Every structure is written in C-alpha cells, then in structure tokens.
Amino acid sequence: MSYPPQGPPPYYGQPPSWPGQPPLSGKNPAPYPPEQPAPPYPYYTPGALMVPVPLVPVSMPMPSMPMPTMPMPTMPMPSMSLPSISTPPMSMPTPMSMPPPPPEAKQPAPTYITNYIYHGDTSKPEKVEIAEVGGESNWVPTTTTTAGHLSGKAVLGGHEGWDGSPLWVIRAWHDGDLIPGKLNVRHNSASIVYNGKEVPVQNVEVLCSQPDSLRWVPASNGSVPPGAIQGGKSCNGEILYVGRARHQLSVTPGKVHPSHQCCYIGFGGSEVSHKMYDVLCRLS
C-alpha cells in the first residue's frame, strides 16, 4: 500500500506504534492502521430484522355540515267509498250419518304345494263315499282338510323334493275339465294344472285302490300303455290319463294329455311339461 505524495490522508493521523515494532524506514511505508469501528447506523444494524410498524393515522374530526331539508309535496288522495254488502247469516248443514260400508269378502290366498304350507281344520271328518267304481280302483270325494282319513287306501303318486312329504293321486273339476293332480296330505293342499298355471283346489277326489292292483309304466310323447287309468277328460271330450314325472328332486303326479304329446305336472305355481313320464296302469 502506498500513499500519495502529499502523505497519508489527514483522517488517518499518525500511525500508532506497537510494542516491539521495528521503526519505520523511509522505504517501508507505515502499516495500515487498525480498523476503526464504524459509527452506528441510525436505521439499520447488520444482522437485525427490520419489521415494518404501521403508523396509526390521526383521526381528524370532520366538520358537520347541515343538510337542507326539502319538503315533500303532499298530493290529496281521492276518497273512495265502497258499497256496503250485507252478508246473510250462514247456517251450518246438519251432518248426515252415512251407513257403514259393507264388509269386503276375503278371498282365500292361493296355496301351492311346492312353496306354501296350509294347515286346515281336520276336526270334522266326513263320511267316506264311493263316487265311481272301476274294477278295484275307486275315486273318493273329499277335501284337502279332511282327506287324512283315507291313509292306507289312497294311491301314492310321488313325493315333494324339498321335504319328502308324500303326494297322493287326485282329480278335480276346473273350468269344465276334470283334471288329474296331486294332494299333499301332510300340508292339506292340492292342485291341478290348467292353461300354464298350477291351480289350487279344495274339493277333490282321491284315487283309492289295493296296493298290488296298480303299477307305474314308463311312456313318452303322449302315448299310454294298455290298462292306463283314466283320470279325467277335457271340455271337448279328450281322455286325460294319470301320469307322473320327475322334476328336480320331486316325483309329481299330473295328467297325460295325448294330443299335446306330453305329461303336465304342477311345480312352483307353473305348469311344467315332460316328454318322458310314467303312466298309472291297472294290472291285467
């Protein structure tokens, strides 16, 4: 570091001397004086965080200026007189007593063997009567609630698949047809098939016979073997035979309709047709 010809600046002053420092020669310039502490900065100090401080404005009262009042013009309203209406006194009508509605006739709910259990009253068994005599087989009229007294005489046609209850061979009238069907004596419910549906019936005829006088013979496509039991007839005079078919887990008695080339049984509320079936025949 070198100084100008006029020497060091006046604000440096004379260089201080330190203990043990060799004297300065004319060739060696004076050492740089020690740094003097900077004067304090009035607004910012290094390392300090400056936080803006909001200045509170000085509220100055506003001079109140009187507002001039303006008179509102008043407009005269014409007076309208409404005509007086005389209301006659109202008399309350005398309430009329209405006759109670007639009780509605309760329709019995349909009962299907395969999915509904009906428990009837069997406390009054009726006298056994022979409706038709045909060799050793007889059709005995009864009802679904009183057919239990024919146990040991009725022809067993099959069994239910869901609980194994026995199904008897029966027939019943419906819409002009005498149709073979089934009776679940355990649940006191019977049905025949007609026009694609399983129709519940109450008044039935149960087929009764000696156990060794009948047998089930396999058949198909509307054919019937010799000695087939006639179970009924259609309204046009066609003979309907007693048959049965296996459906799912059940063996269900029904009707063999030769002109339809099948055997119809009732299952789950519907009429189910089978090409392979058994026909109840009389032993010769």
pLDDT, tens digit, for every residue of 253-266?
999 999 999 999 99
Of the candidate ranges 46-55, 108-117, 125-134, 262-271, the one whose mean pLDDT is the lowest: 125-134
> Is the model more confident about 29 or about 254?
254
* Structural domain includes residue 43: no
* Structural domain includes residue 173: yes
Tell me how many domains the chain contains: 1
Q: Scanning the structure block, which residue is given the tokens 């063999």?
A: 256
Percent of the chain with pLDDT over 90: 47
pLDDT greater than 70 at residue 150: yes
Q: Three-state SS for 150? A: helix
Q: Which of 105, 283, 113 is nearest to 204 (CA)?
A: 113
DSSP result, 170-233? EEEEETTEEEEEEEETTTTEEEEEETTEEEEESEEEEEEE-TTSEEEEEEETT---TTBPEEEE
Residue 102: pLDDT band by 50, 70, 90 thresholds?
confident
* Structural domain includes residue 2: no
* Cα distance between residue 155 and residue 173, in whole Å: 19
* Structural domain includes residue 121: no
* Structural domain includes residue 236: yes
Mean pLDDT score, 196-203: 96
Q: Dihedral, CA atoms, 134, 230, 143, 184, nearest 10 degrees?
A: 120
pLDDT greater than 60 at residue 232: yes
Phi/psi at 277 (nearest 5 deg)? -160, 180
Instruction: Provide the residue type at 21 as one letter.
Output: Q
* Structural domain includes residue 188: yes
* Structural domain includes residue 167: yes
* Structural domain includes residue 216: yes
- Record the pTM: 0.54
pLDDT, tens digit, for every residue of 34-70?
666 655 555 555 555 566 655 555 556 666 666 666 6
Q: Determine the structural domain holding residue 247 and report its residue range.
A: 132-282
